[in-house]
Amino acid sequence: MAKSEYTVLEVAGREVRLSNPGKVYFPKPGWTKLDLAQYYIEVGEAALRHVRERPTMMKRFVNGILEDPIWQKRVPQKVPDWLQTATVAFPSGRTAEELVANDEAHLVWAVNLGVIDFNPWPCRRADLDRPDELRVDLDPGPGVGWDDVRRVALVADEVLREHGLRGYPKTSGSKGIHVLVRIEPLWEFLEVRRAALALAREIARRAPDLATAKWWKEERHGVFVDYNQNARDRTVASGYSVRPTPDARVSCALEWSEVAAVEPGDLRLDTVPARLKAIGDPAESIDDVPGSLDGLLDLARRDEEGGLGDAPWPPHFPKAAREPKRVQPSRDADRPSQRGRAGDPQPGGPPPGFSLQNQRGFGAKPRTGQGHEHEFDES
């Protein structure tokens, strides 16, 4: 049997073996595994700002973006002696030794395993129970235009500023926008999620025609502000991650002044390195002044005193003490029919005049973080 092709890259003072460097990961532009590795070397400082000291889930596209990824929480048994990891615990009670990518060599090592985008925890390995980042994930529903996503992002910025926090926006590289908020690591996951839920509800109140905090898809309209991305064990693609889209879009940091006009298709593996050299990294100061959650937690308290309780959690989490019924509204015979205030995920039914749409993903399984279905159509 012939030996597999490989190359050795000198990265961060280490030799990293890259097998099958010519394997095509992005068929339309023809970009290869080596192209991806060289991208991460080129943007290394900016990319590492978002993953350094953070346990990171590996999503392995071993044969490129046209096949389903392998979600791998644990690093392999045989790893280089320099590879850094962290032991993390999940709601199930299980633990895993996850990658901690602290230099460019770690990024390239992961690319060799088929990793395209990096999905780090919102906390550092020094304290895995207290996040130092609140994440605002703006996820448009079917048929929702990109301009609506941008408009909701600007509302999120307004709410954050009013509550003493600075958000750093970035394209998700898929369909939405993320806003990253560095916070002091003083609050555990439950409180960070509580603050994120209050934020989501306030965004929905200010932009009721554009945004929703409803967990159940059949109740949503517009752009979903996904507060549950702040629950333990949830991750989003990191800044400067290449996403598994046909055109290799990048989850790219933005200035707030860019949000109203940004086009995600302009931010790709082949364009972002030059952008960084030309204008620098808009998220360069993200770690300088972490904020306090006190303002958002005050907002949460006011919501709760006004009758808004907890909202549904993801299905694999244990039932929370004050969580409403974890059942799809259309299947809940006892669910109240009246509508609550904007942002309340408990009363049933879609907004008046809103027609429910087919929520299925495309392909055999729904793709996550890979853009829109039509983008995978043959051109």
Residues 242-261: tens digit of each pLDDT: 999 999 999 999 999 999 99
**Structure token digits, residue 78:** 């045989």
Question: What percentage of the chain carries pLDDT values higher than 90?
Answer: 77
- φ/ψ of 102, rounded to 5, equals -100, -5
pTM of the model: 0.85
CB atoms within 10 A of CB 375: 16
| Tens digit of each residue's pLDDT (9 = 90 or more) over 268-280 | 999 999 999 999 9
| Tens digit of each residue's pLDDT (9 = 90 or more) over 276-325 | 999 999 999 999 999 999 999 999 999 999 999 899 888 766 666 666 66
- Report how far residue 351's alpha carbon sits from residue 51's, in angstroms, rounded to the nearest whole number: 39
| Tens digit of each residue's pLDDT (9 = 90 or more) over 180-191 | 999 999 999 999
Helical spans, DSSP H, in 14-93 = 33-42, 44-48
